[in-house]
Structure 1
Amino acid sequence: MKLSVFTVATPDLTPAELIPVAKEAGLDGLEWRYTSTAPERRNEAPSFWGNNLCTIDPATTTDEELDALAETVRGHGLTTAALTPYLTAGDVEGTERAMRHAARLGAKAIRVGVPRYDRTADYNELFAKAVAYLESVETLSEKYGVKGLVETHHMTITASASLAHRLVGRFSPEHVGVLYDPGNLIHEGYENYRMGLELLGPHLAHVHVKNAGWFPGETAGAPWTCRWVAMDRGIVDWKQVLADLKSVGYDGWFGVEDFSGTHDTKTMLATYATWFRSLAEQA
């Protein structure tokens, strides 16, 4: 079992600070958040999607800095499992830059863009756009040796395993895969875990670990809302997910991205490693 952390969930630590903490917690790898922080947010308190200190900036990070980071990661006996940008479907230039940087770090995968679905554009048009983009992703993957991963994510055209499979099924699993996120499926896209995993087959490439739950509105008739909760407290039955992953022979990364705020960063990482390895033994 290979455990990692997506650094969106560790906003208060710099990369240099996180590496020894992750090692001490018992993790095996790191998934670096890869995006630019808006100048007006850099003086804010650290946050997941705002002033996240554990972020690689594609616009300013040099090759020398990437090489130094890769050396530090290796020196602590860890692996860069993935580089995780926030790409837009169709951004081939940004995708190539991310793959080049990922290869420099020794990462074997990046997250690629998927069209958002919000009822303002027809699904079929968005799907065609995504297919055209993934054709370029596949070519870039062949060039850099870095796989492009489509994430199962609410409010996109790949909200479920089956929708993700419909998109990636025409591409080689050596170059295009799926980042399976059961926590996201609680928001939208839930399917029987094992059925979805069996459908994905060789395209299953990575798993993210978090949890969520649904809560009623404060007044009668108010809509329910979905919110992030502690990893072991939400709707996702992780013991069942692990058993289903085991049934399909999955042996890849499990990357935590706990957004619940239940623990401070160091405690969250240590709790994750202990809890998840114990759960895997029971599955």
Structure 2
Amino acid sequence: MFTASTPDWTPAETVARLAAAGADGVEWRVTDQVDDGTVGFWAGNRATWPLTGLEERLPEMARLVRDAGLACSAIGGYARCYQHEDVDRLLAATAALGAERVRVMVPALNGSSYPALFEEARKDYAWVAERAAHHGVKALVELHHQTICASASAALRLLDGLDPAHVGVIHDAGNLLIEGQEEYRSAFAMLGPYLAHVHVKNVAWRQTGRREDGSAVWSAEWAPLRDGLADLGEYFGALREHGYDGWVTLEDFSTALPLEERTRDNLAYVRALAG
């Protein structure tokens, strides 16, 4: 479970409840977040570790995971590949925790020239690969809408020629329903050794209004795993056919069920799908 999706729980509560629900690991969210007095996925998330002062918190992070009988599947970082100082700190922290993998984000689409953004990101990720090798860990590009790597094809272009021992891709079935969807088997085959991690959530598109010309307006909303557009049974079947045997991290941002209930239900559902 990625702790972005467990905002109500402290780190200690998170690992205890994940262990009780039958999880194998936890993926810590690490970022300096906004604290506006509310509790939510992206602000006021109680299961988030701040990047500021991270090094001093590593022993506690490791102890909580160890005492709960879990593993740390990865670090969910928010530093982008051009933020070299923060990236290197996350790589070092990942090595210290024995987590092996850390998300290093790519540039968001910001109205700049896509070719220029992509060219600079290629240079930055070459640097990231070198630093990941230095620390003995792997940096992960997440397929994410509204970034330069919304699809497997784009991520392969970014990483092509870099050592897959130290860079890889997070395939995310939910994000791809918003932008970048490619047939699962083709995408996995395309990524080959770069397929390094999997995130699972789901999305539903709903009609939310009409424009002045009468055409429909559609919006993507996070949905419970069983209720979204992604056929997760097919997804896990394609992962098995490909031979994927790595981590599968849940990050359900729907709120139809209370957090503890949806955590238990999601773990049971995905375990059944994974066989």
- Tell me the TM-score normalised to structure 1 length: 0.93
Q: d(CA) in 1 for partners of 2:71 and 2:98? A: 8
Q: Deviations over 1:116-153 (max 9, x none)?
A: 124x1222111111111111111111111121000100
- Coordinate RMSD, CA, aligned: 1.2
2:186 pairs with one of 195, 206, 209: 195
Alignment pair present for 1:206 and 2:197: yes
Alignment pair present for 1:80 and 2:83: no
8 Å CA contact retained: 2:168, 2:194:
yes
8 Å CA contact retained: 1:150, 1:179:
yes
8 Å CA contact retained: 1:23, 1:78:
yes
8 Å CA contact retained: 2:55, 2:93:
no
Alignment pair present for 1:147 and 2:141: no
Alignment pair present for 1:135 and 2:130: no
CA deviation after TM superposition for structure 1 residue 68, in Å: 2.4
1:20 pairs with one of 16, 19, 22: 16
Q: d(CA) in 1 for partners of 2:66 and 2:265? A: 23
Query: Structure 2: any 5+ residue segments left out of the alignment?
Result: none
Q: 1:227 aligns to what?
A: 221
Alignment pair present for 1:157 and 2:151: no
Q: d(CA) in 2 for partners of 1:218 and 1:260? A: 21
Query: Structure 1: any 5+ residue segments left out of the alignment?
Result: none
Alignment pair present for 1:60 and 2:53: yes
Q: d(CA) in 1 for partners of 2:54 and 2:122? A: 30
Q: Deviations over 1:142-184 (max 9, x none)?
A: 1111210001000111111111111112211100100000100
Q: d(CA) in 2 for partners of 1:106 and 1:78? A: 12
CA deviation after TM superposition for structure 1 residue 62, in Å: 4.2
Alignment pair present for 1:166 and 2:157: yes
* SS state at 1:226 partner: strand
Whichever residue aligns with residue 10 of structure 2, its letter is T
Equivalent residue pairs, number: 272
Whichever residue aligns with residue 49 of structure 1, its letter is W
- Following TM superposition, where does structure 1 have runs of at least 4 consecutive aligned residues deviating by more than 4 angstroms? none
CA deviation after TM superposition for structure 1 residue 113, in Å: 2.0
Q: 1:113 aligns to what?
A: 105
Q: Deviations over 1:76-118 (max 9, x none)?
A: 2111111111112311111001111122222111111211124
Q: d(CA) in 1 for partners of 2:251 and 2:34? A: 22
Q: d(CA) in 2 for partners of 1:192 and 1:135? A: 28
